[in-house]
Structure 1
Amino acid sequence: MSDEALAERGAAGAAAPVARPVPFRGGGFAPRPMRLVGLVLFLVLLGLWELGSRTGWIGPLVLPAPTAVFEAFRQLVVSGQIWLHLGASLQRLLLGWFGGTLLGLLVGLAAGLFSMARAGVVPLVAALFPIPKIALLPLFIIWFGIGEESKVATILFGTFFPTVIAVYGGVDNVDRNLIRMGQSFGLSWLSIVRKIVLPGALPAILSGFRISAAIAIILLVAAEMIGAEYGIGAYILLAGNLMATDQLIAGVAILSMLGLAVSWLLGRAERYFLRWR
């Protein structure tokens, strides 16, 4: 090789770019924790709300100031009425949601695992799920009376159907190749269900629990507005009848905190049961 060719090769090598490390891209779209963003946004909205109330842009009857709402909430705590209302609501919510979730879980698993149950359950759920459950409350009052049974039945009936749909859909969407692999290794039917089907369907099931919990809170308020002495819904209805908007917003804030608490508990359950992901 001539001296000129060697010189050209050396110049080309010197001009070659330096290799740089490629950044890691295998995060799998994992969300980054940003806990302060939601708190800052909430405080900004509260500040704008308070500013609008103090400057007269927002009328006190239309929407009271956050300080007035906080004072109404404080009075509710000091008087002890909050524990009566909150205790009654939590009792109804837990009984109705747990009952509807347990029944929905059993029926959804049956529909996802057995052809006979699927043929009977899926059309029935499709026909009854679109019915507004609060419209059936008068019928439940006729059946169970004006007491706690009709309110719990409304919540149970309303949470049953979304749970069935979530469980059935989660079981039906489990990868069939994993099931065939378990069958090829000689696993029993029960082992396949316990080790493959249930873990694969668990994300959809827990998402269904979130939806059913939100529906349960909505139905709780609606049921308590009909013939209930204590409960958050009864407190909001009474405040609305008295035009006490500060107390009304305080009751709505209690429902919001209740929803946040339920969401936090379900989030903890998701992190525990889905830690294998």
Structure 2
Amino acid sequence: MLERAPPKDPPQTGLDTESRPVGFRGAGFAPRAGRYSGWIALALVLALWQLAGSAGWINPLFLPPPSAIALAIWKLAMSGALWQHVSVSVMRIGSGWIFGTAAGVLVGFAIGLSSIARGVGITFISALFPIPKIALLPLLILWLGIGEEPKVATIALGVFFSTAISVYSGVDAVPRNLIRMAQSFNVPFASIVRRVIWPGALPSILAGFRISASVALLLVVSAEMIGAQFGIGAFVLQAGNLMQTDQLLAGVVILSLFGLAVGKLINLLETRLLHWR
């Protein structure tokens, strides 16, 4: 009778798989911005820019060094012209952004929740959204007169379309299983909107706020360049016509600082309202 050969030992790979620890892999994709990396990169760019201007590598008429731009901002602040231009622009941006955002949120939720509103609203938004809103400024001046109303209306129109699109896109992105589960427990419609749809759409809505704030900034500069005596856009246009490039870039820096401030404000809103993510 043949005897069965004993089983062979498995080959030794040199790795003890049973005792080797495995790191936690479920942290999710959550990129974090460095606390100082952005400021360090900005400081390096400004230092190289200042070095190029001081060494004469760049003609200061075409690109003044950062020190000249900072001096121009200081002179504008001391003369009071800076605060006059900034306050007028902030008033126009704030008014137009509030009106446009309020209307965009209402229309966006209506499109996201109502079949009739979706059929009508998407058609109008698709037809009117591609039109440059600044091209409507002469028509708005004809309708509303010369004053603040056409500028605010231009900003509101630009903000409205961006907000409405982001809101109804956020409502569509809410998982339908959550809505069906709430309906199966006979949760009222208003409570479903407030407790299910609103939190689910909030990330997209806040992203739309970030975009609409940038749109408002672009439109206020364009509107002030066309028909305004005061404002950052009017100041930049006047400095460019007089070839005062240091003051022109001072206005650009002020616009950039305003954009940074708005972005920081929206970051704070996201941290407070989206703490559950």
Q: Shorter chain as normaliser: what TM range?
A: over 0.9
Deviation of 1:32 after TM superposition, in Å, equals 2.8
Match of residue 64 from structure 1? 64
CA distance in 2, matches of 1:186, 1:199: 19
Deviation of 1:47 after TM superposition, in Å, equals 1.1
Please show how residues 129-144 of structure 1 align to structure 2 within 5 Å. 129-144=129-144
Deviation of 1:34 after TM superposition, in Å, equals 0.7
Please show how residues 143-154 of structure 1 align to structure 2 within 5 Å. 143-154=143-154
Please show how residues 251-266 of structure 1 align to structure 2 within 5 Å. 251-266=251-266
Please show how residues 80-229 of structure 1 align to structure 2 within 5 Å. 80-229=80-229
Match of residue 276 from structure 2? 276
Deviation of 1:22 after TM superposition, in Å, equals 1.6
2:227 aligns to what SS in structure 1? Answer: coil
Deviation of 1:184 after TM superposition, in Å, equals 1.4
CA distance in 2, matches of 1:276, 1:15: 41
Deviation of 1:61 after TM superposition, in Å, equals 1.1
The superposition leaves residues 196-238 of structure 1 with CA deviations (integer Å, 9 ceiling, x where unpaired) of: 1111111111101111100000000001112212111111011
- Name the count of aligned residue pairs: 272
Deviation of 1:16 after TM superposition, in Å, equals 4.2
Deviation of 1:20 after TM superposition, in Å, equals 2.9
1:27 aligns to what SS in structure 2? Answer: coil
Deviation of 1:33 after TM superposition, in Å, equals 4.0
1:99 aligns to what SS in structure 2? Answer: helix
Distance 1:185 1:51, change over 3 A: same
Unaligned runs of 5+ in 1: none
CA distance in 2, matches of 1:243, 1:88: 24
The superposition leaves residues 215-273 of structure 1 with CA deviations (integer Å, 9 ceiling, x where unpaired) of: 00000000111221211111101111110000000000000000000000011101111
Pairing 1:243–2:243 present: yes
Deviation of 1:17 after TM superposition, in Å, equals 5.7
Distance 1:17 1:232, change over 3 A: same
Distance 1:60 1:23, change over 3 A: same
CA distance in 2, matches of 1:212, 1:16: 56
Which runs of 4 or more aligned residues in structure 1 lie more than 3 Å from their structure 2 counterparts after TM superposition? Answer: 14-18
Match of residue 24 from structure 1? 24
Deviation of 1:25 after TM superposition, in Å, equals 1.8
CA distance in 1, matches of 2:53, 2:256: 21
Letter of the aligned partner of 1:102 in structure 2? A
Percent identity over paired residues: 55
CA distance in 2, matches of 1:169, 1:195: 18
Distance 1:194 1:244, change over 3 A: same
Distance 1:17 1:231, change over 3 A: same
Letter of the aligned partner of 2:265 in structure 1? L
Unaligned runs of 5+ in 2: 1-5
Letter of the aligned partner of 1:166 in structure 2? S
